[in-house]
């Protein structure tokens, strides 16, 4: 491809190491890219409230595509630019469908993410769990509500949890029953956790909006990722790069595979030009 003008990067397993650090090599490469007029955009399943530890390690406060495309966030001004929520009727239909399909395997627990107005809004207003929810990672600051109440308001992300199944197994069972016109279904960890967005909403949607605003064609964008929720953005970009530690299905979708996030895989590719 021609010298890239836009870098779209996933965070976990991609931009940061296993120790959750932006390596010196990657930071320096991104600094050269930005100094030359390039634009960095983050594209992550994380909500805006989980970005600060990463932003503090970067040479710029970039635009961020959060919640797998459901939120476009300007990290420099702490502004929610755009949202694509699931509506209450959609939420209820998806939960009922998933529960019926997985009834013999324990059903599903439910939680939602809401956009709020700032990354610094109280966390219990942004991440809310239903009573049967089992956390997939340590969590101490969250809201709780009955399922009917939880599903009665729009959400930028619906989370479906089953402790007994792998995320890939959940996806394979639910994808035929939750088609793209109902919702976008994906996952970014293996611990029995599916992430659900509004129909057609992926990381590629937010990156496309950024590229249009800046007048940068997709052909001059390069994207990096490691999990199935990165598939659409890698296919959208002029060049899609899977990390060496990426899920096998993402490597198939990518134009190339670099080395792992712990081996500076992003910098190893971007250094061809910067």
- 205 in the same domain as 238: yes
pLDDT of the chain along its 274 residues, tens only?
899 999 999 999 999 999 999 999 999 999 999 999 999 999 999 999 999 999 999 999 999 999 999 999 999 999 999 999 999 999 999 999 999 999 999 999 999 999 999 999 999 999 999 999 998 878 778 999 999 999 999 999 999 999 999 999 999 999 999 999 999 999 998 899 999 999 999 999 999 999 999 999 999 999 999 999 999 999 999 999 999 999 999 999 999 999 999 999 999 999 999 9
Q: Which helix (H) or strand (E) holds 114?
A: none
- 185 in the same domain as 102: yes
Which of 197, 214, 241 corresponds to the end of one domain? 197
- 141 in the same domain as 11: no
Q: Which domain holds residue 12?
A: 6-83+201-270
- 92 in the same domain as 192: yes
pTM, full prediction: 0.93
């Amino acid at each position: 491809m021609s010298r890239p003008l836009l870098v779209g990067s996933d965070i976990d397993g991609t931009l940061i190491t296993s120790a959750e650090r932006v390596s010196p090599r990657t930071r320096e490469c991104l600094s050269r890219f930005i100094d030359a007029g390039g634009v960095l955009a983050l594209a992550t399943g994380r909500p805006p409230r989980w970005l600060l530890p990463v932003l503090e390690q970067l040479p710029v406060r970039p635009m961020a595509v959060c919640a797998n495309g459901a939120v476009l966030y300007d990290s420099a001004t702490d502004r929610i630019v755009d949202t694509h929520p699931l509506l209450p009727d959609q939420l209820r239909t998806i939960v009922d469908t998933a529960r019926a399909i997985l009834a013999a395997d324990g059903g599903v627990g439910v939680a939602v993410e809401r956009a709020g107005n700032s990354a610094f809004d109280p966390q219990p207003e942004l991440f809310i769990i239903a009573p049967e929810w089992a956390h997939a990672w340590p969590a101490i600051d969250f809201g709780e509500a009955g399922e009917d109440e939880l599903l009665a308001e729009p959400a930028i992300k619906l989370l479906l949890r089953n402790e007994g199944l792998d995320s890939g197994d959940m996806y394979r069972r639910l994808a035929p029953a939750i088609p793209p016109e109902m919702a976008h279904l994906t996952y970014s960890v293996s611990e029995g956790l599916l992430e659900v967005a509004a129909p057609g909403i992926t990381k590629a949607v937010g990156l496309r909006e950024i590229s249009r605003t800046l007048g940068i064609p997709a052909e001059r964008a390069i994207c990096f990722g490691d999990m199935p929720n990165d598939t659409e953005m890698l296919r959208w970009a002029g060049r899609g790069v899977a990390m060496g530690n990426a899920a096998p299905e993402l490597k198939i979708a990518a134009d190339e595979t670099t080395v792992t996030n712990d081996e500076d895989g992003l910098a190893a590719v971007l250094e061809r030009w910067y």
